[in-house]
Amino acid sequence: MKSHAIIPIFIPHSGCRNDCVFCNQRRITARSQAPTQNQIRETIEVYLSTLEPQSLPTVEIAFYGGSFTGLTLEEQTEYLTLAQEYKAAGRVRKIHLSTRPDYINPAILDNLKRFSVDTVELGVQSFDERVLRLSNRGHDAAQVYKSATQLQEYGFELGIQLMVGLPGDTLEKDIFSAKELVSLRPSIARIYPTIVLPETKLHQMTLSGEYTPLSLDDAVYRTKEMVKIIEGAGINIIRIGLKSSELIHSGEGSTLTGETYHPAFRQLVEGELARESLERQLEDRWPLLENLPDRILFASSSESFSNMIGHQKKNKKYFAEKVPCVKIEYVIDSNLRKNQYTIKEDIENESSRNRHR
């Protein structure tokens, strides 16, 4: 059951003075205006009208878009006053915002504390200096460690966002970034594959051949390796890949270049993790695959069942080809945790369980 909901408030690029190669917010902002207090209040009320009857334990107001702490302190205060009003009334539980690592200093942190902000997400994107430079991030990795530490010292929940496949990036650098993220012990993380949006420097770099977008398979593979490191360290990854609604902010009628955007990117990654887990168990238990029993069960919890099957039944097709002589049944086992997969041989007692052939 859903226990958590976010009320997203999109603040266009106005807080950000940078121009990262992959970002088109500067152009979008030229065509859009920051929401007024009344517009934000209206948005919050619309969300609350459906969320409040559900009595969810956690509802957050989250400021997304540019770089919140790049706004003037007066502008930040104006937005935060409104958010705090809802928090003080008990209608939302948390205030959440995202910003750049170099827009953090004691005056900003004191102000965020004053308005009882809970979570600050840093758009880190990479811990590799060359990748940061080629992406025109405008800060170095040292700035990330400094800001992350300051945020934690002030008692904020830290979030870290990483991107996969930026200019100069490699699988090794992505793995390095995932390990560095873990070393900072954030409360939450996000991973986004790099998407070539129109009206960006990255788009020009792609057209000129200076940058080649990752293939979808490469993006999924790299992200999967990062997820293993980050989730393996017990850090909650709240988002993998952009939602289609987030592409709205990429511009009307925009055409994406490359194939790294996929509406079910997280399922692709989690499906690969499921396949990998089942394949490893299969090969550990039956190193000579010809000794497999006639029938086996692949089991998961109900919430991970679609990952086990794979996007468009990719995993089912894969295993049907890998072990064609074995009948594999896909079942739900309520004793299993999310993203836990097991293989069973004995199907005698499984008949009451949900089956999918």
Residue 327 · residue 295 · CB < 8 Å: yes
Considering only 7, 9, 14, 25, the residue that binds ligand SF4 (CB under 6 A) is 25
In the bound complex, what is the minimum distance in angstroms from residue 154's beta carbon to ligand SF4? 21
Partners of 106 in the beta sheet? none
In the bound complex, what is the minimum distance in angstroms from residue 3's beta carbon to ligand SF4? 29
Strand ranges across the sheet with 327-332: 341-344, 295-300, 327-332, 355-356
In the bound complex, what is the minimum distance in angstroms from residue 261's beta carbon to ligand SF4? 16
Can you tell me whether residue 165 is helix, strand or coil? Answer: coil
202 versus 328: smaller Cβ distance to ligand SF4: 202
Site string for ligand SF4, 218-247 (x = CB under 6 A): ------------------------------
Q: Binding to ligand SF4 by residue 201, rule CB under 6 A?
A: no
Considering only 7, 13, 97, 308, the residue that binds ligand SF4 (CB under 6 A) is 13
13 versus 262: smaller Cβ distance to ligand SF4: 13
In the bound complex, what is the minimum distance in angstroms from residue 259's beta carbon to ligand SF4? 21
Rounded CA separation 340/346 (Å): 19
Residue 208: is it exposed, middle or buried by C-beta count within 10 angstroms (0-12/13-18/19+)? exposed
Rounded CA separation 67/70 (Å): 5
Nearest Cα residue to 191 out of 126, 131, 144, 244: 126
Q: Binding to ligand SF4 by residue 18, rule CB under 6 A?
A: yes
Q: Binding to ligand SF4 by residue 20, rule CB under 6 A?
A: yes
Window of 11-19, 43-51, 228-236, 304-312 that interacts with ligand SF4 by CB under 6 A: 11-19
In the bound complex, what is the minimum distance in angstroms from residue 221's beta carbon to ligand SF4? 24
250 versus 307: smaller Cβ distance to ligand SF4: 250
In the bound complex, what is the minimum distance in angstroms from residue 13's beta carbon to ligand SF4? 5
Rounded CA separation 344/335 (Å): 13
161 versus 304: smaller Cβ distance to ligand SF4: 161
In the bound complex, what is the minimum distance in angstroms from residue 25's beta carbon to ligand SF4? 5
99 versus 307: smaller Cβ distance to ligand SF4: 99
Residue 297 · residue 344 · CB < 8 Å: yes
Can you tell me whether residue 325 is helix, strand or coil? Answer: coil
Q: How many CB atoms lie within 10 A of CB 46?
A: 11
Q: Binding to ligand SF4 by residue 16, rule CB under 6 A?
A: yes
Residue 148 · residue 101 · CB < 8 Å: yes
Window of 14-22, 110-118, 175-183, 306-314 that interacts with ligand SF4 by CB under 6 A: 14-22
Q: Which of residues 89-148 bind ligand SF4 (CB under 6 A)?
A: 100, 123
Enclosing H/E stretch for 45: helix 37-51
Q: Binding to ligand SF4 by residue 165, rule CB under 6 A?
A: no
Residue 171 · residue 222 · CB < 8 Å: yes
Q: Which of residues 57-96 bind ligand SF4 (CB under 6 A)?
A: 66-67
CA dihedral 330, 331, 337, 340 (to 10 degrees): -20
Tokens 């129109």, located at residue: 198
Q: Supply φ then ψ for residue 108, to 5 degrees.
A: -65, -45
Nearest Cα residue to 181 out of 216, 138, 227: 227
9 versus 20: smaller Cβ distance to ligand SF4: 20
Can you tell me whether residue 77 is helix, strand or coil? Answer: helix
In the bound complex, what is the minimum distance in angstroms from residue 18's beta carbon to ligand SF4? 4
In the bound complex, what is the minimum distance in angstroms from residue 323's beta carbon to ligand SF4? 45
In the bound complex, what is the minimum distance in angstroms from residue 29's beta carbon to ligand SF4? 9
* Residues that bind ligand SF4 in the complex, under the rule CB under 6 A: 13, 16, 18-20, 23, 25, 66-67, 100, 123
